[in-house]
Amino acid sequence: MATKLVTVFGATGAQGGSVVQALLRDKSGTFKIRGITRNPASEAAKALADSGVEVVKADGLNISELVPAFEGSWAVFVNINSDDPCLNQKDGPSETDMGKIIIDAALEAGVQHFVFSGMASASEITNGAVPNQAFDEKHAIGQHGRSKAFTSFVDVSPGWYMESFLWPDLAPVFGGFPFNPDEEGHLTFTCPRWGGPNDEAPFIAMAADYGDMVHGVLLAPEKYNGRLIQGLSQSRSLESVIPDYQTATGKKARFRFMETWEELETYGMSGLVTVQRMFGFCQYSGGLYYGLPNDTMQAAELKAAAATAQGKTGDDAKLMTLERFFKQHLA
């Protein structure tokens, strides 16, 4: 069987790394993997090379580096870091600029299938009332990609990382949960309302599920051409985070809604501004993070296809739940 080269842009990041690991688990031997990084000498890049990934150097703003990095690729997966310090500076390139350069380089290199970590447009969803730069730029990049002559172009749009509950530095933004008790001694998960009838957010287990969804797309890419895949593991109400956590860990915790989405502290960090405005546009739209109600059907289909290709069984072949995630990581 002829192998198919899949090149991952951002291979050392959380999303790209999840895709790489999923493809490495494929039992058929169909896929060969190349990872693009700015720094092949980094420990993360060396670990990729040790796992059998071909590591190449290229900058996302340099088409003369990207074209040879994509040469010979049957498919690519691309995630762009919206908080990359080289982007969105005054008089400098935007995230959309980088996305267009990457897409045009892939097309020039003869890539057939392009999988992008894209987003729905907050501006479009809210009719301009609550824009969100990162979401809007990723949407613009996706639109550019769909206008090009790829055999398939697919967005796999990640929801709210379950892994964010594992980051101690992020805990103060959400009331200290699950690491730092509040002033009354409670582990309190504090956040704005999501919006919609049940305040249900689209949670994604990045390591466990996201790469499998992309793997599932790459098993039949033309089937998903032009779609935006809802990259979520579980649609769960924000208040349900606490009983899920308590069931998994046996620890006591509680929940509190913030009065407004603007109350979420950003500390002047662009990544947290994105999170704050995510709550704003979801409240305004009635919880429509994807522009449509949350739906795990397509994600479950892709997970099942990848699980079969990887030989996964039992719970490992199913989408992650918050309760299982907490049990695995915080119990």
Percent of the chain residues past pLDDT 90, beyond the cut: 95
User: Region 179-188: what's the mean pLDDT?
Assistant: 92
| pLDDT(4) > 70 | yes
Contact 237, 199 (CB under 8 A): yes
In the numeric block, the tokens 């990729």 are attached to 48
pLDDT of residue 213: 98
Let me know how long the chain is.
331
Tell me the residue range of the domain where 98 lies: 4-330
Contacts 24+ apart (CB under 8 A), 121-127: 121/291, 122/277, 122/278, 122/281, 124/291, 125/281, 125/284, 125/285, 125/288, 125/291, 126/281, 126/284, 126/285
Number of domains in the chain: 1
pLDDT of residue 195: 96
| pLDDT(1) > 70 | no
Tell me the whole-structure pTM to 2 decimals. 0.97
Query: Which tens digit of pLDDT belongs to each residue from 90-120?
Result: 889 999 999 999 999 999 999 999 999 999 9
Query: Which tens digit of pLDDT belongs to each residue from 287-321?
Result: 999 999 999 999 999 999 999 999 999 999 999 99
Residues near 195 by Cβ (< 8 Å), separated by ≥ 6? 279, 282, 283, 284, 285, 286, 287, 288
- For 160, the token pair is 């709210």
| pLDDT(13) > 80 | yes
| pLDDT(88) > 90 | no
User: Region 79-94: what's the mean pLDDT?
Assistant: 91
User: Region 35-58: what's the mean pLDDT?
Assistant: 95
CATH number of the domain bearing residue 91: 3.40.50.720
Confidence label for 202 from pLDDT (cuts 50, 70 and 90): very high
